[in-house]
Structures are given as structure tokens and as C-alpha cells.
Amino acid sequence: MDSIATGDRAAATALYHAVRGATEAVAARLSAEDQQIQSMADASPTKWHLAHVTWFFETFLLKPGLAGYAEYHPRYSYLFNSYYESVGDRHARPARGMLSRPPLADIMGYRAHVDDAMTRLLAEATEGEWAEIVPLFTLGLHHEQQHQELALTDIKHAFSVNPLYPAYLDEAPPEGPAGAPALRWCGVEGGVQEIGHDGNGFGFDNEFPHHRTWLEDAEIASRPVTNAEYLDFMADGGYATVAHWLSDGWAAVREQDWEAPYYWRRQEDGSWAEFTLRGLRPVDMAAPVSHLSFYEAAAYAAWAGARLPTEAEWELAARAARVDEDDANTLASGRLHPAAAANGGDGPAQLLGDVWEWTQSAYAPYPGFRPAAGAVGEYNGKFMANQMTLRGSSCVTPAGHARITYRNFFYPDQRWQFTGLRLARDA
């Protein structure tokens, strides 16, 4: 998206429409009824995602920046604000599924209205205005991409609680490799190192500042843990052996009756199936294990005699490996599920795509972190407690969205994202 900064208005406009169109493509496979469901407080209805990302452009760009802009509907700001306390009151999160009105058709009208205005804004802004617009405009595009991923994981959850197990995609997935490559250990060089975003291209506020850190020499696995490996942990009594677990993790195991990854369902013949965006399917044993909580990832690592990597280890390993998003299994691949990958090189692979990887690092501000001024300052900083950082990206992350400095974060008991793990160990 770096064309934006150069001031190429036509490119920026095309990019805007491409991102907006990608969101609509995600939604297009779903009926209005499907887009209505909110199956838990952490998730949102698809149509709410469609409206909320639109509200972002309306609120942060059009209202302050486009002369004569007419708000589409006076109550939409209340309905589609997600959490920006500074922007005003908002509809209670767990009640998003109650909104049969506005109907999907009106939300598509809202999108068209905002798209027209945005097109005008991008065309008509003076040079001075353009400079002001660019940061928020770019943020809006990346924000919308985040919601593309969330919309897919949320609908997966919604379909998973329906006894009919509906499929988002009807076709069977493409064949993948029958087996995963053997796990190799790859070195990570210690010392005073630098991590964080270097300022070239877009980054979220939480990736800044670029800063020095110290780490000891370490090793990181060449690929994520597979379903077959995780099944070994299960077969070895992993969920019943308290010694592997953090205290809060053990409490979660007991209270929530965890005995397998989130979407696994034991079949009558004793085998395991997995709910996927293509419906209920046999677990692909060669693929990376997914939909694990941090607690499960940490317990697996303890059982395996290893540990999770730190953020710094992961980022330095990824920088050394010169990862290329084009090789990754992301949303662009259309598979929408993790798969085993060939493992050609010497370094770690599959760092992008397939599954987000839990690290052992609590989500915290980098030294010198400053939130942005104004309401968008609420973007990331206020979540820096009680959550753990994940690195990489997943099989439903939009192309162009991933970076090796990207810091994703979830609570340690959350499981509905495509979350897996990669082992690390001291050198």
C-alpha cells in the first residue's frame, strides 16, 4: 500500500476500492440471515463488520475532512462504533446480533454512500489535506483488512454452533501434502538486537518504536506443530496432566472441559473430525494444529520439553529467513484452512500464513511507545494488559496485510482464531 504515501491519487483510489471490494467478497457467500448471527460476545455479525469498517472512514475521514459531507444515518455512529470511548456512546457489544435493522441492504447502501464520498475526498483533497489524510486513510484500509479476517473467523464460529454444520465454502479443499516435513531447529542469534517497525511502509502504532533489545542465543523450530504431533500430546494424557499447565490454564481446562483443539469433534468411530469453513472434515494430520488457546500452546511446549519463542526471537528469525508472503497460505490462496507446506530451505518456514503463532511475550508497550493523538490513540495501546502476543499471520489474513513486525494479541483462553504454535528452545 506504499503507493499512497507517494501521493498517487489514482493508485490510492484503486487500492481503496480493492480493499472494500475484498470485504464484500468475503460477505457475498453469506445470506442476509447468516450475516445477522452473533454467536458469542467476542464475535460480531458479518453485516456489523461491513458497517463498522465503513463507520471508520465516515468518522475519521469524511466528517472532519469532506466539506458538505452528509451523514448517512444519525444513529449509525452509535450502532457501529466498536470501542472508541472518546467518540461517544455505543451499542453494547454482546447485542450486535440483535440488529435485524438496519437490514443488510441498508448497510450496503451505507457502504456505497461512503465509497462515493471517499472517492470524492481522494480526488478533491488539496495537497495539504492529502498529507493529513494519508495516515488515517491507510489505517482505515488496514483496519478493514483486519475485519476481513475477523469476519471469517466469526462466521466460522457461528456456523460451528449450528447442528447442521453449514459450510462457508461448499467445495472440498485442494489436495495438500500428505505429510509435514521433519522438524528442524534453526538458530537465532543473540546479543543486542533491534526489533520493531523501521518506518518504511505502514505499521500499526504498537509496532513502534524500532528499538534495541537483548536476547540470548536460541533455536526456533522450522515449522509449526502439526495436528499429528498435538494428537501425541493428547494421547499422552496432555489434558489430564497438571504439571504441563499454567495455573490459570489448568483452571480453564477444568471449567471448560477442554480435551482437544476448539473445533475438533470426536466421531463415533473414535477418530477426530474438525469443523472448517468447508464444513466438518477429517483432521488433516500433516497440517499445523490450530484453534489453540495460549494455555494449550504453552502446555504442549512444556510437554515437548521446549518453550514458546519470545516476540524478539520470532521476529529476528523471520527477518533472517527473508519470508515471502507470496509463498504463504493466506486468504489469497482460497484454501481458508491451514495446510502442510513443503520445507525447502535451511531456515524456519511457514512463518506467514496458516496459523498465528502464540509467543511467550505478554502484549505490552515497546520501550518508548506513544499512542497516537485523538480517538485513534485507542487503537492498540489500551489493550496492553492480560493478553499475549501472536506473530505471523493465518490462512485467512488478506494478502498485503502481514508483516514480520506485526503484533497480534488475544486473551490467553481465546481459541476461535486460527492460532497455533511453533516451538523454541535455549541454544
Binding site for a copy of itself (CB under 8 A): 31-34, 36-37, 39, 75, 78-79, 83, 85-86, 91, 95, 97-104, 158-159, 161-164, 166, 192, 211-216, 242-243, 245-250, 294-295, 298, 360-362, 364-365, 367-368, 377, 382-386, 388, 412, 426
Give the integer Cα–Cα distance in Å for 403 and 215: 21
Which C-beta is closer to a copy of itself: that of 35 or that of 394? 35
114, 57 Cβ separation under 8 angstroms = yes
Q: What is the largest CA-CA distance in the chain?
A: 67
What's the residue count for the chain?
A: 427
- DSSP letter for each residue of 152-207: HHHHHHHHHTSTT---SS-SPPPP--SSPPPP-EEEE--EEEEES--SSS---GGG
H or E element in which residue 11 lies: helix 9-28
Give the integer Cα–Cα distance in Å for 309 and 415: 19
What are 362's strand-pairing partners?
Answer: 388
CB of 109 vs a copy of itself, minimal distance in Å: 15
Which C-beta is closer to a copy of itself: that of 83 or that of 256? 83
Which C-beta is closer to a copy of itself: that of 163 or that of 270? 163
Which C-beta is closer to a copy of itself: that of 137 or that of 233? 233
Residue type for position 393:
S
For the chain, give me the number of helices (H) and strands (E)? 10, 12
Which C-beta is closer to a copy of itself: that of 99 or that of 396? 99
Which C-beta is closer to a copy of itself: that of 397 or that of 408? 408
Which C-beta is closer to a copy of itself: that of 107 or that of 180? 107
What are 218's strand-pairing partners?
Answer: 188, 426
Give the integer Cα–Cα distance in Å for 252 and 293: 10
Give the integer Cα–Cα distance in Å for 168 and 385: 34
43, 154 Cβ separation under 8 angstroms = yes
CB of 32 vs a copy of itself, minimal distance in Å: 5
The backbone torsions φ and ψ at residue 22, rounded to the nearest 5 degrees and listed phi first, read -65, -40
Burial class (CB in 10 A: 0-12, 13-18, 19+), 199: exposed
Which C-beta is closer to a copy of itself: that of 102 or that of 238? 102
Give the integer Cα–Cα distance in Å for 293 and 301: 12
Which C-beta is closer to a copy of itself: that of 63 or that of 75? 75
CB of 152 vs a copy of itself, minimal distance in Å: 15
Strands 356-362 and 419-420: parallel
Which C-beta is closer to a copy of itself: that of 37 or that of 355? 37
Minimal CA–CA distance to 292: which of 227, 244, 353, 237?
Answer: 227
CB of 197 vs a copy of itself, minimal distance in Å: 17
